[in-house]
Amino acid sequence: EIVLTQSPGTLSLSPGERETLSCRASQSVSSSYLAWYQQKPGQAPRLLIAGASSRPTGIPDRFSGSGSGTDFTLTISRLEPEDSAVYYCQYYGSSVIIFGQGTRLEIK
Amino acid sequence: QVQLVESGGGLVKPGGSLRLSCAASGFTFSDYYMSWIRQAPGKGLEWVSKISSLSTYTKYADSVKGRFTISRDNAKNSLFLQINSLRAEDTAVYYCAREYNAVVDGASFYGMDVWGQGTTVTVSS
């Protein structure tokens, strides 16, 4: 079974900075099935990136995704306090859906 | 307004059962695959089950296979999750979510673009 490992586990940054979050798959996956989500406390997750690099309508261009094979990244530029959240990568397979363990990002 | 609203959660004893519901509105429900995802207190997201748009196939996480049953009623724009033989480790917020499937320049992208607010299931004696 595919395992998604995210790094780092937690980080604290300042507004205006840029950060790249990592998601590594235990085996090669199609980019089509790699998504990223943002979850704020007490809220449902929000889809940020689908297909490793495509932003759904309404997602700010500060969020960008890239990668292929086993290594994928989510980059958040010009960090804002509202970006404080847990970020999850996801493999959306036809038979199984897998989430990474999440990266907690604090902006202060 | 595109919306999913879960209901049916509650406090149940180990070994008990619950039926969760998810009411969809603002989109053509029968066009979409749907999933249930859960999140234990203070933990990450765990996919539970998925159902195709016309209920022709269903998939389950190994942790719930044989105990949970996903179903839908397209005439009533509703998704369901029957959960039996509940265990303490099933305690979680349960979300329903819509499959996102976009095609750009011949490439397909997948994810979950609409989520409900969640319903809480607590398994305790």
Query: Per-residue pLDDT tens for B7-17?
Result: 999 999 999 99
Tokens of A70: 């086993």
For all residues of chain B together, what is the average pLDDT?
Answer: 96
Please check the confidence at residue B96 and state whether its pLDDT lies above 90: yes
Do residue A50 and residue B110 have CB atoms under 8 angstroms apart? yes
Alpha-carbon distance of B98 to B88, in angstroms, equals 27
Tokens of B24: 């969809």
CB proximity A24 to B under 8 Å: no
Q: Distance of alpha carbon A83 from its chain centroid, rounded?
A: 12
- pLDDT for the residue B107: 83
- pLDDT for the residue B108: 86
- Which residue among A35, A37, A99 sits closest to B46, beta carbon to beta carbon? A99
- Which regions in chain A score pLDDT beneath 70? none
CB proximity B120 to A under 8 Å: no
Please check the confidence at residue B39 and state whether its pLDDT lies above 90: yes
Tokens of B1: 């307004």
CB proximity A95 to B under 8 Å: yes
Question: Is the distance from CB of B12 to CB of B121 less than 8 angstroms?
Answer: yes
Cβ-proximal residues to B101 (8 Å cutoff; 6+ apart), any chain: B33, B108, B109, B110
Q: What are phi and psi of A83, to 5 degrees?
A: -80, -5
pLDDT band at B106 (very low <50, low <70, confident <90, very high): confident
- pLDDT for the residue B104: 81
For all residues of chain A together, what is the average pLDDT?
Answer: 96
Question: Is the distance from CB of A65 to CB of B115 less than 8 angstroms?
Answer: no
Share of chain B above pLDDT 90, in %: 92
- pLDDT for the residue B37: 98
